[in-house]
Chains A and B, each alone.
Chain A
Amino acid sequence: MNLHEYQSKRLFAAHGVPIPRGEVASTPQEARAVAEELGVPVVVKAQVLVGGRGKAGGIRLAQTPEEAEQVAGEILGMEIKGLAVTKVLLDEAADIEQEIYLGVVVDRAVRRPVVMASSEGGVEIEEVARTSPEAIHKVSVDPFLGLRGYQTLTLAKGIGLSGAHFRAFDRIAHGLYQTFVDCDASLAEINPLVVTGPGSSRGGDGGLLAVDGKMALDDNALFRHPELAEMRDVDEETPAEREARQAGLSYVQLDGHVGCMVNGAGLAMATMDVIKHFGSAPANFLDIGGGAKAERVATALRLILADPGVEAVLFNVFGGITRCDEVARGILAAFEEVEPDVPLIARLVGTNEEEGRAILESSGYRLITAATLADAAQKAVAAAGDGSGRG
């Protein structure tokens, strides 16, 4: 789960990281009031959970409260990479002398949190990693010792920060790391962390200020952070993805024409790959999990068929502990609730596969059965046809 800039920055601030004064607005009138309260100039920033807001025109400066109202009105109507902007953050504009990057992520290779800093702030860290990897300095944190002072000093020296900023940088790095740990984050990032110039009304803590921020949280840890779970922006997901999450299904919408219903995440990915291998493209990733109860199968089928791009549905179920005859009954029970209007290809393999196939074939539904995954994928690709959609 991802957090908005304003949510991330408020969490950082609660851990002692200096951020610009600012407030969120959802209407142009509110934006004007906020600008009057803060004083001008202000930066008006679209709050959407995608990168590249600046390039899309979602971050603009306003010199007067009237201008803030007008600019907010324009940004609030925008769509950035398919996401509607429903909130803007108005921040006191900072006098920026230098932009740096500071972030914490989990490094899977060393199995520790790693704190990264770069003197090239303001651009995406992946971009820096590609173009000038030597500009990125990293320290990995022992989970039992936590982040230590000598480590933040190493980073500060590495990015060429002057001695006058060491203490402020140390405090900010510790604040960011603590936010990361306390919130069970998978990413906590300040980009840019700016060294402010003499024009700033508030120089931050010793001249450093977290101007932009971003966090991603570990979904598996949300059970112990109900206050963070409530911050979820449902606009981030498609309605289908939201329904799937609430039903406990793992679903990702894609833009192909073959709907997939599979038990197990790895097998679901492999099924998508095989569809692509035989010349079409998957319409979704969907893991129905173990058991394949009729109710879950029905929900999954409804989600798949709600996508107008879907022209065929492929069921690929490996019966291990789950028995294929049970799954076949689940599929038929789902048809009672959701009447499918596209060709259906079913491949059931493993425990009780003959019984499962027999149940499906004698059901009277127009079901195409297949013995192997390759066979099933080829039949699904043929059934999906030319990819013109159902409209």
Chain B
Amino acid sequence: MAILVDRDTRLLVQGITGREGEFHSRKMIEYGTAVVAGVTPGKGGQWACDGKVPVFDTVAEAVEATEANTSIVYVPARFAADAILEAASGGICLIVCITEGIPTLDMIRVRAYVDQQGGRLVGPNCPGLLSPGRAKVGIMPGHIATPGPVGVVSRSGTLTYEVVYALTARGMGQTTCVGIGGDPIIGTTFVDALEMFEADPLTEQVVLIGEIGGSDEERAARFIAERMVKPVTAFVAGRTAPPGKRMGHAGAIVQGGSGTAAEKIAAFEAVGVPVAEHPEQIPELVAQN
């Protein structure tokens, strides 16, 4: 088993005929993911990815025809909120949003609506999900990961790849790599991912990669202390980030003196979670668990 995506994932790609959507759909198919449908309004009836994937105008039609259970959103920022809402109201239970740059107030309403529908959102502004050897739903490079017992959850993209690559190089494979995204308002949080990893029989330990901004890492530290048996290793990016400046990700900002790396590191250390000084130290710490 893995978490969130596995061999039973039947994937619908929203924005499949766009440049990003088409490129990454091919990569996901190559990896072995069951990409069963695409949606692009106005292009219903066409086929994408060399005739492999049927395209529909709406999510509802695609679900009806293909029994898709998971959706990935590649549509541009100004249409992405609507795409997530359409997926949630169309009965999709897991929605992964890659798109960066969705307005925060839109995401507040979108997240509340997805919750009401009983769905789960991952992202936005995230690299998606990768269960090595099982399924890839997102943009993570498949070849850097390998199956194994470590769960990885992160707010970042390339920093996650860096850590996964280092783990793989040391023979430490992964159950699932979860990119939760770098925006202020996201769907799945660290705590949600930790809860799933704790319940997953194949996952033996977890690597958590946080960064400055917000207090999701502090809540994760409390959850680890109170509810987890499996060991967790952490890294927090942004020790040198100055206050008041946004570090690329919309959510990576120290505001009003809170959300600093120092506070987050202290929260982890206080509950006995080892925190790596730099990303390449993570495999060493994992080996000690």
A residues whose Cβ falls under 8 Å from a Cβ of B: 106, 108-109, 111-113, 125-126, 129-130, 142-144, 181, 184, 186, 218-221, 223-224, 250, 252, 254, 262-270, 272-277, 281-282, 285, 287, 318, 320-321, 349-351, 372-374, 377
Contact = CB atoms under 8 A, between A and B. Distances in A.
A144 B109 CA distance: 7
Nearest to A287: B248
Given A181-B105, A254-B240, 5 more contacts: A108-B185, A142-B112, A143-B105, A265-B249, A273-B239
A221 B159 CA distance: 27
B30 interface: no
Contacts of A186: 104, 184
Nearest to B241: A269
A357 to B, nearest CB: 15
Given A143-B109, A221-B105, A318-B165, A266 B185 contact: no
Nearest to B184: A108
Contacts of A263: 158
B200 interface: no
B237 A113 contact: no
Interface string B148-161: 00000011111111
Given A266-B154, A266-B249, A318-B162, A220 B104 contact: yes
Interface size class of B (residues with CB under 8 A): 35 or more
Given A144-B109, A350-B144, A109 B237 contact: no
A333 to B, nearest CB: 21
Interface stretch (B34-42, B86-94, B250-258): B250-258
B212 interface: yes
3 residue pairs, one from A and one from B, having the closest CB atoms = A266-B156, A265-B248, A264-B158
B256 A125 contact: yes
B240 A272 contact: yes
Contact of B104 (A106, A266, A275): A106
Given A109-B215, A143-B109, A218-B103, A266 B256 contact: no
B182 interface: yes
A266 B109 contact: no
Contact of B277 (A219, A220, A277): A277
